[in-house]
Every structure is written in structure tokens, then in C-alpha cells.
A and B are shown apart, each in its own frame.
Chain A
Amino acid sequence: MSAVEVEAVTKVFETRTDSVRALDEVSLTVADGEFVALIGPSGCGKSTLMRLIADLDEPSAGEVRVFGMPARQARLERAYGIAFQQAGLLPWRTVRANVELPLELHGASAAARRARADELVELVGLGDFADHHPDQLSGGMQQRVAIARSLAEHPRLLLMDEPFGALDEMTRERLQGELLRIRTETGAAVVFVTHSIPEAVFLADRVVVMSPRPGRITEIVDIDRPDASADPESMRESDAFFRSVTAVREALHGRDTAAERGATASGATAPEAAARGVETR
């Protein structure tokens, strides 16, 4: 069964002055256990698509199913875990208590909560910080707590909206590696929104490229992934990685401009790309 099925979904936001077609007849299927990255310039509807899957918003037309259930039912049955760009931790709760929150909301016993939270805090490498409060943590550490929290109830699907978007490059690469490891351990499907081409290529099995006004899927790029047994970090240096980065960049900017740019300096951030809100580093 597919983790996510999005069928001809349209989302129109009515504002007082005009209406914005954030998504226009978008269809997408995410297989169980598959890692899909959504990429595209700002305003192309990535967050909107993710919010529809999470049933935080409702589509204007079309249908969203999660593990065969309507999105609303999936949400109420906690079929997914979710993390946003802002860690969104509750400042009055310790790291452990933040991770326990979903379990507490759903009536798990104190002992079970504690055991699971300790396990997850360990998993994201924050064992020494379990009793700290969020204001005592760096941005990267807060984001790890948010990821641990999203994993609390063993979800088969993770929804992540630019979870590393606010972090510095080094922290970001380290957390990408950790996310891959966690994902291998849990086998969950992931829908991952990002601005960064290398991030999308490093993480995903498939990269979904979107374009704005109206929000549409323009292309889906399959990524050559190294063997599961290989060290994922080695991928960053591989030829396959650069080929995939080029393929995604071409899909984003159109073939001609990308080819030109490849001839001058590979990987350089073009002003045009920056202007369109996509990082090419």
C-alpha cells in the first residue's frame, strides 16, 4: 500500500483582495518506505502540499489518502510524525518532556513514555541534555529534539517542512546524515520539503520538482542511491551525486540555462537561481 496518494489536488487560498492557486491538479504517490523530497522556488506550494497530506488544511478539489485512509482519519489515527522549520518545542518542558508530548497526549503510561523518550533522546544524540530546557540548546539541538518528538509514536510516515532550513551548513550536513541513519533504522516513508538541491539529492529516493503560479509538479527525478551497506557520507563525493544534482538543477531551471552554467562553473550559485529562491550549493 502507498504511504501517500495525492490525486488531482487543487488548493486555492481566497484572500480579501484576490485568490491564490497554491496547487493546481497535483498528483503524487509516495510508496511505503520511500524518501521523497519536494523542491522548488518559494511560493510553489511545497508547504501547502505537505499541510494537505497532514490534514492541517483541506484541498479545494481532489483527494489525499494516507495509508489508504482519508487524510483526516490518518491524522486522527496518528499515521504520521511531523517536523517544521521552527522546532516548535514547548519552552516550559524539558527535552525529555517535549519528546514525551505526543505519547502523553494519547494517554501512554508514565513509564512507557519515559522509556520511549529516553530511547529517542539517545537516538538523536542528546542523552546528556534530557533534562535541559529548549532555551539552553542550540538551534541544531532543538531541531533534533523536534525530530525525536516526530518519531515518538513509531510513525510509518514522516512529514518534514524544511527542518534544517534555519541551520548552518555544518550542522545541516550532520543532521542530514543522522536523518538517513534514523530513516534506515525505522524504515518510515518520508516527505521532505527543502530549498537545497544537494540536500534533496543526498536524502531522497525521488526528488519532486515544483514550479509556482500555479503550483505544479514539473518533473520527478529518480536518484541513484549508493548501496544501503555503503557509508552514506561517501555519496557526497560520488559522480552519481553530481549527476543527480545536475539533473535536478536542469529540471528546476530548464535545460538550456543549466547547460550553459555547467560549462562555466559547476556548482556556482547563479544570480538567477538565487532570485528564484533556490539554493544550488
Chain B
Amino acid sequence: MRLSSRQTRAIGFGALGVLSLAVLWEGYKLLGPAEGISIGETVLLPRTTELAMPHVWDSVARAFQPASSASDELVIVAVAQAAASTLGIAGVGMLLGAVVGVLLALLMQRFLLADRAVLPWLILSQTVPLIALAPLVVAWGGRLQLGPFEWERWMSVAVIASYLAFFPVAIGTLRGLRSPEQAHLDLFRAQGAGWWKTLRYLRLPAAVPHLLAALRLGTATAIIGTVVAEVSTGARGGIGRLIVEYAQSGSSDPAKAWAPIAGAVVLGLVAAGAVALAGLLLHNYRRAEAR
């Protein structure tokens, strides 16, 4: 696929953003006071010591050295594996959240009563703090016994991610399903089209732009949710776990701690890129109607 000048410019700006962040980091490290700036006990700006702010190039170099003396696996490989695992779990959570979100939106579009009854619960659901939710889901999953099926830790993480992701999808999809103008609805009614055909040929296609926006939001929350849930459920193998693990070795190896954080950022970018790609494939559904 050839890139348009607009896309090239977007990539250029992205690279410029990363570069200026590095420059800002090194600039502050060079000029800022070693003890940081604080008023009383409150730290306003961080310390600039090697321990608190390693050089950008040290962090990059550290990523290409073995993670520990015990094995010769590189830090970057360990981070990539953890990121892949987190991405997979977030993907499952996102899928689950999207399915539940779209189904809820359909329910609310179809039945006004469902709209009135369900919407307050949806909003309420999002006020439950993640930290309170995580142990509940783990405990509940642990008691689940379906024949040979066994509940695993990562499934709890995926459920928590989906719990965060379904909300923007439900709200966005509902708005999209309600977006067709009266003239279009009249047209379908005049064709004798029932609810299902109106949904299939009018409401769903019209909902695509809203759905994409909701997915952008949903994937971001799914990734953050997965990382936080990995930490709070103590699930192994993911990037959340790695962030905690490397931070603990921070005092002796400060450059290493930044690798999984960078990994989480890249993860977010990959997810956003996937949604953008879906947007490109669906570009016909994003044409604004010309009159």
C-alpha cells in the first residue's frame, strides 16, 4: 500500500514526538537539580540521578543485554514475549467486550424499555474500581468448575479487560445504530423492510464510524485494563508482571525498568494501529453523505 502525503506526514509527526520526548528527558536530566524540585514533602519534578532517570541511550542499550545473569535471554526478547502475551489476553478481552457491548447496544436499540432499564446499570458498572473488582473475579473464577474445563488466571484478566472495554463499545454502537436519518428509515419502511433488514442494511453500516471510534477507546482501555489486572491478580507472563518485577530490581539496574514500560506503550500503538487498519478496510462506510 502506498502512503499518501497525509499519512507520511502523520508518521513524521509521530517520530518527531518520540524524538522530542527523548530530548526533553535528556534536557531536564542535564539542567534539572539532582534532588529534583519539591515543596515540603511534595515532589514536583523528579530527581535527575542515574537511579531515577537513566540516560535514554543507557535504557536502549540495556534492552539489548541479557535480562539476568542466570540466563542469556535479552531484555527486549523478554519484554516482547510478555507484550505478546498481554496483547493476546487484551485481544480476548476486547473481543468479549465488543461482543457484549454490541449485543447490549442492539438490545437497547430494539427495546426502549431495555434502554431505560439497562443504561443506568452500565454507567454504574463503570464506577466500580478495578482494584476492588480483580480479587472478586479471581475468586469467582476459581470456584468455577465445568467438567474438565479449568479456570486460569489469564481468563480472569481477560474478563476484567472486557469489563472495561464493553462500555465505550455499547455506548458508541448505540449512538451509531440510532444515527440514520428519518428519511432513510422511511425509505426502508416503504420497502417493507423489518427490524432485521433495516439493521443489516442501514443501522449497522451507518454505525461503523461510531463503532470504530468506540473500538479505539475500547482497545486502549482493554490494554490498560489488562496490564493493571495482571498486576492486581498476580498473573504471570504478561507485561504488567514484568513492570513490577523489573521495578523491584530498579535500585541496582535502573535502565532495565524502563523497557517493559516502553513495551506497554508500543502495545498501545499496535492496538491503535489495528483499529486504524480496520478503519482503512471499512473506508466506504465512512464516507459522509454528500447531498
A residues whose Cβ falls under 8 Å from a Cβ of B: 51, 54, 56, 75-78, 80, 82, 84, 86-92, 101-102, 104-106, 133-137, 139, 142, 166
For the A-B complex with A84-B183, A105-B197 known, give 9 more contacts whose Cβ atoms are closer than 8 Å: A56-B186, A88-B181, A88-B186, A88-B187, A104-B201, A105-B188, A105-B192, A136-B290, A142-B291
**Contact across chains for A135 and B290 when beta carbons are under 8 A apart:** yes
Assembly CA distance A117 to B287 (angstroms): 22
Q: Which residues of B contact A (CB under 8 A)?
A: 181, 183-184, 186-193, 197, 201-202, 205, 208, 284-285, 287-291
**Contact of B184 (CB < 8 Å), options: A76, A90, A137:** A90
Instruction: Check if A75 sits within 8 Å of B192, measured CB to CB.
Output: yes
Q: Which single residue of chain B is at the shortest CB-CB distance from A104?
A: B201
Contacts A90-B205, A91-B287, A135-B287 given; indicate if A84 touches B186 (C-beta within 8 A).
yes
B290 touches A142 (CB 8 A): yes
Residues of B contacting A: mostly? helix
Give Cα A104–Cα B200 distance, bound, in whole angstroms: 11
**B49 CB → nearest A CB, Å:** 57
Chain A residues near B183 (CB, 8 Å)?
84, 86, 88
Beta-carbon contact of B184 and A78 below 8 Å = no
Do B190 and A75 have beta carbons less than 8 Å apart?
Answer: yes
Residues of A within 8 A of B285 (CB): 92
Which one of A51, A82, A135, A136 contacts B187 once the chains associate, using CB atoms below 8 Å?
A82
Contacts of A104 in B (CB 8 A): 201
A272–B290 alpha-carbon span in the complex (Å): 34
A105 in contact with B184 (CB, 8 Å):
no
CA distance A139 to B189 in the complex (A): 24
User: What B residues does A102 contact at CB under 8 A?
Assistant: 191
Does A105 contact B187, Cβ atoms closer than 8 Å? no
A181 CA to B186 CA, complexed, in Å: 27
22 contacts between A and B (CB under 8 A): A56-B190, A75-B192, A76-B192, A77-B192, A78-B192, A80-B190, A82-B190, A84-B183, A86-B183, A88-B181, A88-B187, A89-B289, A91-B290, A92-B208, A101-B191, A104-B201, A105-B193, A106-B192, A135-B287, A135-B290, A142-B290, A142-B291
